Amino acid sequence: MVNQINVIEFLSLARTIPVIDVRSEQEYLQGHVPGAINVPLFNNEERAMVGILYKNSGRESAVLKGLDIVGPKLVNFIKRLNKITNEKKVLVHCWRGGMRSENMAWLFHVAGYNVYVMQGGYKAYRHFIRNELAKPVPIIILGGLTGSGKTDLIHQLGKIGAQVLDLERLACHKGSVFGGFKQPDQPTNEQFENNIFAVWEKLDHVKRVWIEDESRMIGNVNIPEPLFEQMSRAAMIMIVNNQEQRICRLVDEYSIIEEADLRIALLKISEKLGGANTQKAIAALKVGDYQTVAALALSYYDKAYLHAVKKRKNQEIHFLHLNNDEPTEDVNLILETLKLIN
């Protein structure tokens, strides 16, 4: 049986039933429903070929060519699906819920599967998640200068059961010019949004959601505008600790990076850092004086961060001085500070 269902129903079933994305490899890599498995009806070249034929010769010629391409693949499609799941249920989508998903759904149905097709396809899914990310949620921002340990504290909040949206983990980047080291490749911007929503939909939108303060861009990806707008309007708890602590944390984190890579990163911010400071930082790097490198980098990042804080739409900022550098203890102080926020 083939069932046409809306995006909400599709995502609900996707928690227990495999999702088959029948678009081309290129479309899938650009962005896909998290967890979906790509079983393309046409590969990149075949899709382009059929599209050109449709444009130049009409629908009938394109359909015949498509059948000619797909025919020899039918058995392999079924064999692959049988390896993916032993259950006789499967979710299918293409770009707009058109011929590709309809044809694959028919094939899977003939093979004995109960098939659910997403109405409107991936395009409808993208529209849906953008609207969902715009819905108001009680967000609380955890801020602080570079090296203040915000990420560790966000992780600790998650460990004790608080709702956390870890944007840096989803972006595979820690935010600064140094933030891509020792990280997986970043997702596309589209996939970043999809990954955010995969976490977002599981949250209780009545309860607080903790998010680390971020600029609009994390590495090469952008925080979705509706979400970034909510973050800008949220109250902030800003961590304050001494520079020595921050320098030590940065040295621990980045001194393991190759000198050449750190030098390239420093050169990327040389205009903002200033010529003299850049040369001092590179000279310190050569002799392994990472404390000096970190201190000079902070001279730029501190100014940039404080400037960004002043531009926030919500200036309700509660400063919390932390000196212990013990996340398990500091989280209790953060939760106490939270009581000051309505």
Q: Any idea which residue has 């925080």 for tokens?
A: 223
Q: CA-based Rg of the chain, rounded to a whole angstrom?
A: 25
The three-state secondary structure class of 319 is strand
Strand duo 217-218 + 221-222: pairing:
antiparallel
Alpha carbon separation from 258 to 53, 178, 182, 186 (Å, rounded): 51, 12, 11, 20
CA distance 241 to 322: 5
What are the tokens at 208?
A: 């607080």
Alpha carbon separation from 25 to 40, 94, 188, 225, 226 (Å, rounded): 7, 12, 14, 27, 29
CA distance 9 to 15: 11
The three-state secondary structure class of 123 is helix
Active site members: 94
Reference 105, options 50, 169, 39, 154; nearest CA is 39
Question: Which phi and psi (to 5°) does residue 194 adopt?
Answer: -60, -40
Q: How many helices (H) and strands (E) does the chain have?
A: 17, 12
CB-CB contact of 194 with 132 (8 Å): no
